[in-house]
Amino acid sequence: MLIGYVSDEQYSALPDVLLEFVKEGESWEARSRASGAVHGDIPPGNYLVTVAKPGFGSKRIALSFPRSKPYQFRLLSDALLGYAWPKSVRGGMSGEFRVHSTEPYQLELWRYGLEKEHVLSLGWHDEHAPRSVVQTIPDGDFTQVGAGWNGVGYQSAHHWQKVVAPDRSGLYYFHASTPSGQSFTFPWVVAPSRPRSPIAVLASDITWNSYNSFGGRSNYIHADALPTTPTVCSRTELARYLDEEYLGWNCRSYAPLSFDRPEPFNHVDLKTRVTDPISGRAACHLAPAEWRLLGWLEREKFAHDLYSETQLHHGEVDLSAYRVLILGAHPEYWTRTMYDRVKSWVFNEGGQLMYLGGNGLNCEVELRDDQTMVANNGQIRSLWPAGIGAESRFAVRHESEARLLGVVFDPAGIMTAAPYRVISADHWVFAGTGLGEGDLFGVNSLHERCPGGASGHETDKISPNSPSNVKLLAKGLNPDEGGAEMAIFETPSGGSVFSVGSITYISSLLCDSGVSQVTANVVRRFLE
């Protein structure tokens, strides 16, 4: 009979895994097949099952047979990984580091600004027993409930993996390294204990989680839930690659995605500097890209406080204490609570919003609790309005984000990059740049996934839902009229919104004088 399947942390099928089933002094042995399937003639009863494969952590599980459906055994590969929990805190609060390692590791805490600053040495971590700092992953679809690392064996004061967050707000990274030369870094958003600067910056932790496929699911891979069988060949099995529009969003509902998981794509190499190109497919629009924005703010001496999006949702960001709110490269996933609060702040309280990214606020998510989110993608046929039934997934459930941002994403020009061309050279945003009508800026970029300029990767444009007084300042030269449209408008309360409509924009801040000067002009004007 079919007992179950064995897969790794990415839900890839694991062949040749050895399983031992023990009941009342008797034992049965089985091995997984090429598909990860485990077959065997197991009498009914309660068993202690041992699962083992070289290169993976072994585990024991108590199981009863028969079962109503095949069991999903999950094994964690030998690697160096980690994450902070919670992933965002206030200064002075305690957090936990959760690290998986097959050997002793040294841990340090660094702050990532214009320079990487060493903050704290957290010593060497190991235990007396072999492989005692190896973690395990839950069986089944743990992307819904979390990895739960440190849940076993770290409850006493002798073993707590705790650290108190520094008082200074910013993007921090834990650096883990081993004697054999392995290294892994993972981010920690530290918000101020109270507002201290006129500028608040939001780290897009909801978007980070939406793209995080650790466990085998993200909002792009098996968005609804894990299928019944592990993956053998992604290109021929996953809906993302079989769908004509490369989407796979055709479900009535979507299972939760837990924040309680490592985020390998947010790793930054120990030797990387803020002015280095951003390598990797995902890093170019997630935490490593947002680090470039924070580095630029420090270079230009703009004092700022950093928060996560989840902290904004939970009411931990007092917008009334800030003059300017800055959104980073790709704040694609927002809750309705966040949207309504920021819109009220801009339209009714005179808030100044700078949207320095692309494809932002495009999909409404719900935060079910402190640990999980649900993306409301709906059943859509493409990313064009005709395939969505509105301008965006957010517009289907609430309203078009163009009403707040002045621009909205569409796929024209997607996965290309180009400079911007000046359209309104007499506007104050171009003061001191030396740029005239038709001149180009944003030629240089650190964005290696879509090299070519500050307008790119995914781009937003002015739409019929944009405020009537929105002004077009510049447009990217991407093919198919797909260039990002840089726009600005004011609200009756004295609020303002400046939008660049491009994911690659902040990757040009540190290396393109035109992008830097335009952005600095807006910050200074908005601070007045």
Type and span of the H or E element at 377 = none
Amino acid at site 89? V
Predicted confidence (pLDDT) per residue in 218-272, tens digit: 999 999 999 999 999 999 998 888 877 767 798 889 999 999 999 999 999 999 9
For 248-257, what is each residue's pLDDT tens digit?
798 889 999 9
State CA 328 to chain mean position distance: 12
Split the chain (528 residues) into runs of 10 and give each run's mean pLDDT: 97 98 96 98 96 98 95 98 98 97 97 98 90 95 96 75 96 98 98 98 98 97 95 92 79 95 98 96 96 98 98 98 98 98 98 98 94 96 93 98 98 98 98 98 97 98 98 98 98 98 98 98 97
173: β partners: 110, 187
Query: Residue 35: CA atoms inside 13 Å, Cβ hemisphere, count?
Result: 10
- Give me the residues paired with residue 187 across strands: 173
The structure tokens listed for 293 are 């924005």
> Helix (H, G, I), strand (E, B), or coil: what is residue 320?
helix
User: Which residue type sits at 303?
Assistant: A
- Nearest CA-CA partner of 38 in 28, 46, 48: 28
With b for 16 or more beta-carbon neighbours within 10 A and e for fewer, the 374-391 pattern comes to: bbbbbebeebeeeebebb
Report which of 26, 32, 34, 20 is spatially closest to residue 70, judged by C-alpha positions. Answer: 32
In whole angstroms, give the CA distance from residue 475 to residue 461. Answer: 9
pLDDT, residue 246, reads 65
**For residue 379, what pLDDT is reported?**
93
Which domains are delineated in the chain? Answer: 2-74 (2.60.40.1120), 200-213+251-259+272-527 (3.40.50.880)
Q: What are phi and psi for residue 344, nearest 5 degrees? A: -65, -40
* pTM greater than 0.85 (yes/no): yes
**What is the reported pLDDT for 369?**
84
Q: How many CB atoms lie within 10 A of CB 133?
A: 18
In sequence order, the β-bridge partners of residue 474 are 422, 486
